[in-house]
Amino acid sequence: MQWCDEYALTCPGCREIYAERDPPGDPPCETCQVELFEENQNAAAVYMACRGQVITRGMDGVIVDINHLAVDAAIDRNGVKDRRRVFDQVVKTFHHFLKERSEAGD
């Protein structure tokens, strides 16, 4: 995986890429940013905080799950009230993207 595959997908990374262009440009924030429903904002914040905290299988390093302890810690840190719902949303979201990644051959 290259730097731009991971970092450029964040707002700071995207802004940096556009700033380094010749000539520099403005990122397409108006068309790029997703507006979340209020009930999904906590899950999105928790997911973004711990999506890189993963459990791998053996020596081959295949990702099999998100680290549940990291999810719990992020839920605590964000003061989430509906812990179970947010936990389930985060795990489901992680597995959705993990499936997409494996289907793409990464």
Q: pLDDT digit string (tens) for 3-52?
A: 455 555 667 778 888 888 899 888 888 777 777 899 999 999 999 999 99
What pLDDT is recorded for position 3?
Answer: 46
- Average pLDDT over every residue of 59-82: 96
Q: Residue 93, Cα to own-chain centre: how many angstroms? A: 9
What pLDDT is recorded for position 12?
Answer: 77
Quick one: what percent of the chain has pLDDT higher than 90? 58
Residues 75 and 89 in one domain: yes
Residues 101 and 49 in one domain: yes
Domains in the chain, number: 2
Residues 62 and 102 in one domain: yes
Residues 9 and 24 in one domain: yes
Radius of gyration of the chain from Cα atoms?
16
Judge whether residue 87 has pLDDT over 50.
yes
Residues 5 and 41 in one domain: no
Residues 25 and 52 in one domain: no
Residues 7 and 53 in one domain: no
* pTM, entire model: 0.71
What pLDDT is recorded for position 6?
Answer: 55
Residues 60 and 93 in one domain: yes
What pLDDT is recorded for position 67?
Answer: 98
- Give the whole-angstrom CA distance, residue 78 versus residue 38: 15
Residues 8 and 58 in one domain: no
Residue 23 DSSP class: S
57: containing domain: 37-106
